[in-house]
Structure 1
Amino acid sequence: MAKESPREGEMPTSRSGTVVALPAGNSAGLYARIIAAQNEIVLLAHDPNKVVDAVIRRAQELTRSTGAVVEILDGEEFVYWAASGTAHAQTGLRMPSAGSLSGLCLARNQVLRCDDSEEDPRVNRVACRRVGLRSMLVTPLLYEGRPFAVLKVLSPYPGAYRESDIQVMGMMATLVGAVLGHAIEYSDLLSDYRGRIEIDRRIERHRDDLVGGIESLIRGRQLNIVFQPMVSLSDGKMFALEALSRFPEGTPSPDVWFAQAAEVGLGLMLELEAARLALGRLADVPQPYRLSINVSPETIVTGAFEALLSAHDMARVIVEITEHTTVPDYDRLRTSLRGMQSRGVLVAIDDTGAGFASLRHILQLAPDIIKLDISLTRGIDIDARRQTMVAAIQTFASGTNATIVVEGVENENELATLIGLGIEYGQGYYLGRPGPLDAVLGGEGVAR
């Protein structure tokens, strides 16, 4: 039988019978989400880790935050034990308790709010900048009446939280504390906690190693740029050069380097260094060839990239958007790209066909060039499905005044099939291998 809605003046309860203290003036929609959160968490009571993960996700949702985290006190430091949203990449991060709002929260055993980390003297400003927050709510988590951790929600914008959010956070903290208490004995909690702390320490050491390696790479100028020609499929004549990053021999692939840099917050630094080195060779690229550089959406919208690009002849540059994941703010990305296009830059979507994200990029950004991923090109001469897919994208591109460039052309049969499908441009080992600029120009970029 369905449970009746609470009568006027009666406090609502979850399935466990726990009383929910609703924020004053709360809307029916928020009330429903709070009850849904309670029910979900209670059903997970047998698994403390799942409880914590559900709490941070729901706390983020209910307070309109961009991230949420549970920080556990380990000696004189807090450890990011579990995190969601924009804080997820910081899991395992260690921060000093002293001089932090989390430390003050445990000391006072009360919910604390920071409206602007740049002005609040109670917070660790350096730590807040590292995490990327401007405002936050922090509430203590109790076990048997003793605080042992905090639940924190955060936002990159100042003044993001209201009084009703404080009540929501208090309710979530009470709920998770009660459920954890029913789920496991205190000794089991400590054992699990210590195990996760050791994992977190390893993660932090790995993070430090990555940061040191990337910073050393940039300082030591060990990043190298090679160039691969883009050519006309019909006659092999080059029309552009793609700049590709190469790292020291014996180290991970470029994709791994850039992924690791993004993981530790150095993605922008590494991308800008690669773009700086590539654009530094633009003057050596003869007319009328263009230079294509690979940049993620996050880097494109920064003022640093715009300033770097503006120092060169933008009418000779192609910007390839490399991101495989979703873009959170297409309006902002479109604005940046339109400004570049107005100064002559061509916009290309890279790796089309490798996933849904690239197809959405095409629909949202209306690029000048659509680059088809090697997964569509490889074996296309013997695969009718690939031929149908490429033909469909070619038809779409023709209707939107976009140019198709295929990647990964590696033999004569693939080339002939692509020409038969009406594809005009491409790149790949059969058409020209990556190499130093002088070598590529000397060979006119054509290997066949």
Structure 2
Amino acid sequence: MAHADLYARIIAAQAEIAALAHDPNRVVEAVIHRAQELTRSTGAVVEILDGDQLVYWAASGSASGQVGLRLPMRGSLSGLCIVENRVLRCDDAEHDPRVNREACRRVGLRSMLVIPLPHEGRPFGVLKVVSPFPFAYREDDVRSMGMMATLVGAVLGHAIQYSDLLDEYNHRVEADRSEARRREDSMQSIRALIREHAIEMVFQPIVALETRRIFAYEALARFPGGTLGPDAWFARAADVGLGLELELEAAGRALDCLDALPHPYRLSINASPETLVAPEFDALLARHDTARLIVEITEHTTVADYRRLSERLRALRAKGVLVAIDDAGAGFASLRHILHLDPDVIKLDISLTRGIDADIRRQTMVSAIRTFAAGTNATIVVEGVETEAELRTLVGLGIEYAQGYHLARPAPWPEVLASFGR
């Protein structure tokens, strides 16, 4: 009858622990309390292996004040239990060479029963029950705890594994939420820029090098705050599906200045291929005289449908618009644009300009592109001229047009107007 009652309590304990399998903390609490009760112990503890140490993860009864305690595996009965992967019993700490007698005396411990907690065949910790009395544990206790050990270890190991997966899932969920918040913040910031017309436009001259006369002005967007550059703002807008809206706002702000720009100066604005083929961009241009307009294609990625883009560019050319490929030489996409779109203007990226006076490879590359441009009736504009030595080298290579800080810095529209004597 006693055995039947014990087994009934073991089954009840197993059922309780199994029901808590997805919550490792509750599993541990159930384990230690049930183990203490079934063995008539004064305390119980779950120790988890962490490197060469055992950590008191949870404890009950007389051991409850030791949670977080770290002990070396070597020289302890728990460590030996993990090494041998079997239940170990200490009947009397005063006479058992496997335990630290002085440590046991300090906590009033005389008997111990230590059970390995296996997961996938290997112990990851132990369940230990303790008593202040010698010979406190019988063979029934060893058998009953042995019967529980496999289930407890499997359930606890599963709980830990599930907890790790749950942590990873929660981490991903939180990352997704953070990304959603970031995207929402970006959308709100970009919509606010558009709604409040907060983009400022500055205008940088494009200069004919032979005469040093200004040929055109490129409109460049400047954003408030100064923490993000224009490229980052436009990339962020494209990422959240507002690329067209932001480009239209910037183009509209630039085109507002076109009518006041004296002849024969041209205005150059930037647009991605997606914006160029959009009906909204066509409607925007319809409100202005496009005969003195240059449209620079800014996209650095490949274009999926060159036929559609080419048709759109032919329609723009029919209205007097010059088509420019921006940042040529910065990547394969811009070179592909040159081959497919037959541009009127090829703008060489600053990466080809910087230090060109001392770099024969850059000089050779610029010469090759100039030869190509001459054969296709395209005009070369070199960007990023910042020193007199770079300028002299470009003139020597036969480059006709350039822009850069050495020639003129971007200026707000009132300053540009003032330079015309207005």
Distance 1:301 1:237 in 2: 33
Distance 1:191 1:314 in 2: 58
Answer yes or no: is 1:357 the counterpart of 2:328. no
TM-score normalized by the length of structure 2? 0.60
- Partner of residue 387, structure 2: 411
* Deviation readout 1:47-106 (Å, 9 max, x if unpaired): xxxxxxxxxxxxxxxxxxxxxxxxxxxxxxxxxxxxxxxxxxxxxxxxxxxxxxxxxxxx
- Partner of residue 86, structure 1: none
Match of 2:408, SS state, is coil
Match of 1:283, SS state, is coil
- Partner of residue 126, structure 1: none
- Partner of residue 280, structure 1: 256
Q: CA deviation at 1:311?
A: 1.4
* Deviation readout 1:148-174 (Å, 9 max, x if unpaired): xxxxxxxxxxxxxxxxxxxxxxxxxxx
Amino acid corresponding to residue 248 of structure 1 in structure 2:
P
- Partner of residue 300, structure 2: 324
Q: How does 1:2-41 map to 2 (within 5 A)?
A: none
CA contact (8 A) 1:229 1:440 kept: no
- Partner of residue 298, structure 1: 274
Distance 1:309 1:303 in 2: 10
Tell which structure's C-alpha radius of gyration is larger: 2
Q: CA deviation at 1:360?
A: 0.3
Answer yes or no: is 1:334 the counterpart of 2:310. yes
Q: How does 1:303-318 map to 2 (within 5 A)?
A: 303-318=279-294
- Partner of residue 110, structure 2: none
Q: Which one of the candidate residues 226, 238, 248 is aligned to 1:250? A: 226
Identity %: 65
- Partner of residue 56, structure 1: none
Q: Which one of the candidate residues 199, 209, 222 is aligned to 1:233? A: 209
Q: How does 1:12-411 map to 2 (within 5 A)?
A: 189-411=165-387
* Deviation readout 1:99-128 (Å, 9 max, x if unpaired): xxxxxxxxxxxxxxxxxxxxxxxxxxxxxx
Answer yes or no: is 1:429 the counterpart of 2:410. no
Distance 2:311 2:198 in 1: 34
Q: CA deviation at 1:243?
A: 0.4
Flag the 1:384–1:443 CA change in 2: closer, same or farther, 3 A. Answer: farther
* Deviation readout 1:193-229 (Å, 9 max, x if unpaired): 2221111001001111111111111112211111000
Flag the 1:249–1:192 CA change in 2: closer, same or farther, 3 A. Answer: closer
Match of 2:264, SS state, is coil
Distance 2:355 2:339 in 1: 27
Match of 2:202, SS state, is strand
- Partner of residue 116, structure 1: none
CA contact (8 A) 1:237 1:444 kept: no
Q: CA deviation at 1:309?
A: 0.9
Q: CA deviation at 1:441?
A: 4.8
* Deviation readout 1:368-426 (Å, 9 max, x if unpaired): 00000011011111111000000000000000000000001111111111011000001
Match of 2:303, SS state, is coil
Distance 1:426 1:315 in 2: 22
Match of 1:284, SS state, is coil
Q: CA deviation at 1:314?
A: 1.2
Q: CA deviation at 1:440?
A: 2.9
Amino acid corresponding to residue 202 of structure 2 in structure 1:
V
| 4+ residue runs over 6 A deviation | none
Output the aligned Cα RMSD.
1.7
Q: CA deviation at 1:292?
A: 0.3
Match of 1:282, SS state, is coil
- Partner of residue 144, structure 2: none
Distance 1:354 1:338 in 2: 25
Q: CA deviation at 1:443?
A: 4.2
Distance 1:384 1:440 in 2: 36
Distance 1:438 1:430 in 2: 21
Q: CA deviation at 1:361?
A: 0.4
Segments of 5+ residues of structure 1 without an aligned counterpart are 1-184
Distance 1:351 1:295 in 2: 13
TM-score normalized by the length of structure 1? 0.57
Match of 2:220, SS state, is strand
Q: CA deviation at 1:436?
A: 1.6
Flag the 1:442–1:431 CA change in 2: closer, same or farther, 3 A. Answer: farther
Size of the aligned set, in residue pairs, is 262
Amino acid corresponding to residue 205 of structure 2 in structure 1:
P
